[in-house]
């Protein structure tokens, strides 16, 4: 008899206390293979913030097609290097002078870690740390990949507010200033097209923005790379682009040397409406029913794992098994208890387990000390999360 996902997870975790987090191994493997297929030979750098489990990062990086980590903190990068990772691109600028000093003081880490910058003040902090230890720190320029459209006298900014560096002129100006400073070296540029990679294909308007963005970047990326290489006087070794939702289009640009993906491994609910790939949910968390407050309702313990971003219902977790369950509009997902509305014949009793999906990817792992890798009806492995290894990086 073929078991449903919920039945498999119930059997695999029977006897384990909730709240608990699981990964479906078959879905995780299929998602990894699909990312590699879409990347079509371009190496994939794994975004650690979308995983936050060292064992899973190691497991994925053993697969052909994956190479390197995109971290989100200098202290995280130092910890990962200490755990044996040898290629960490920090995806966000840092003003943590203590972490920068520790990086500059460690020749192994300095060679393995690349810092992200988009402002001379960030560059100077890195250069000061490097000069203090006689080392050279690797830098990557974060180039704004948003789409800018002129509508008469108004310019529309479509995408996230990320970097002040947008044009080839902007990038060359910053790269030239970096080239004049001892202790730092520009080795790459990054373009994160959030309006392509991070938005579901939910409407014709969104799809039109994506098409225009891809067309714009196909021209602008090459111009930026050429301008930066001319400014620093050497070829760049790292041209990073994309995200899980844009792996294919980013990898298709011959200028790009690597793409980044992370959420595409776990596939949270915000990725359900994508057309560029087939969503296969791989990450779940289980909560137990602790009370039945009345007919048509049941309450589980925990659940208030709200995703970052605009405070909308799309950022709340979603009950997925048993079917016929929904959050209540008045209470939503609560800090220590979450009431559920039952419909379609759903019936829950005290002690039953409910399985949820999170709205975003690695964020939910901050709530758990470990995650169980389930294959079929058995637990194949159990990994500590960052939290389980007593590591928090923001």
Percent helix, strand and coil across the chain, each rounded to 5?
Answer: 35, 25, 40
Res 180: pLDDT: 87
Q: How far apart are CA 220 and CA 226, in angstroms?
A: 10
Say which residues have a Cβ less than 8 Å from residue 228's Cβ, sequence separation at least 6. 141, 171, 172, 175, 186, 189, 236
Domain residue spans of the chain? 5-19+281-388, 25-266
> Percent of the chain having pLDDT more than 70?
93
CB 118 within 8 A of CB 164: yes
Q: What is the CA radius of gyration of the chain?
A: 22
CB 259 within 8 A of CB 44: yes
pLDDT above 50 for 1: no
Res 212: pLDDT: 76
Q: What's domain 5-19+281-388's architecture? A: Beta Barrel (2.40)
Mind listing the pLDDT tens digit for each residue in 161-218? 788 998 999 999 999 999 989 999 999 999 987 666 556 666 676 676 677 777 888 8
pLDDT above 70 for 305: yes
54 pLDDT band (50/70/90 cuts)?
very high
**Where does 25-266 sit in CATH, by number?**
3.20.20.10
């Amino acid at each position: 008899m073929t078991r449903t996902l919920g039945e498999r997870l119930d059997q695999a975790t029977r006897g384990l206390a909730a709240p608990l987090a699981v990964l479906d191994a078959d879905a995780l493997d299929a998602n990894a293979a699909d990312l590699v297929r879409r990347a079509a030979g371009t190496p994939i750098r794994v975004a650690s913030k979308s995983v936050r489990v060292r064992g899973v990062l190691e497991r994925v990086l053993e697969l052909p097609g994956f190479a390197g980590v995109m971290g989100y903190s200098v202290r995280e990068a130092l910890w990962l290097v200490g755990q044996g990772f040898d290629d960490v691109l920090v995806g966000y600028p840092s003003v943590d002078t203590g972490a920068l000093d520790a990086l500059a003081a460690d020749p192994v880490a300095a060679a393995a870690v690349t810092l992200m910058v988009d402002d001379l003040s960030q560059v100077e902090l890195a250069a000061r740390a490097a000069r203090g230890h006689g080392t050279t720190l690797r830098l990557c320029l974060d180039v704004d990949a948003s789409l800018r459209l002129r509508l008469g006298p108004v310019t529309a900014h479509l995408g996230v507010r990320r970097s002040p560096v947008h044009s080839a002129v902007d990038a060359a100006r910053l790269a030239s200033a970096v080239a004049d400073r001892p202790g730092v070296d520009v080795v790459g540029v990054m373009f994160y097209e959030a309006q392509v990679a991070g938005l579901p294909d939910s409407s014709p308007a969104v799809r039109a923005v994506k098409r225009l963005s891809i067309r714009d970047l196909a021209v602008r990326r090459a111009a930026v790379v050429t301008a930066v290489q001319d400014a620093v006087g050497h070829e760049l070794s790292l041209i990073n682009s994309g995200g899980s939702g844009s792996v294919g289009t980013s990898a298709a640009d011959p200028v790009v040397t690597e793409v980044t993906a992370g959420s595409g491994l776990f596939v949270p609910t915000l990725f359900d409406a994508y057309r560029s790939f087939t969503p296969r949910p791989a990450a779940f968390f289980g909560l137990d029913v602790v009370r039945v407050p009345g007919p048509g309702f049941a309450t589980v313990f925990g659940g208030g794992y709200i995703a970052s971003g605009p405070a909308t219902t799309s950022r709340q977790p979603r009950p997925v098994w048993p079917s016929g369950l929904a959050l209540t509009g008045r209470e939503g997902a609560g800090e220590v208890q979450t009431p559920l509305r039952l419909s379609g014949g759903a019936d829950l009793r005290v002690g039953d387990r409910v399985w949820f999906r999170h709205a975003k990817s690695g964020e939910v792992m901050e709530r758990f000390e470990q995650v169980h890798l389930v294959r079929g009806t058995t637990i194949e492995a159990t990994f500590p999360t960052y939290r389980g290894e007593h590591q928090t990086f923001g």
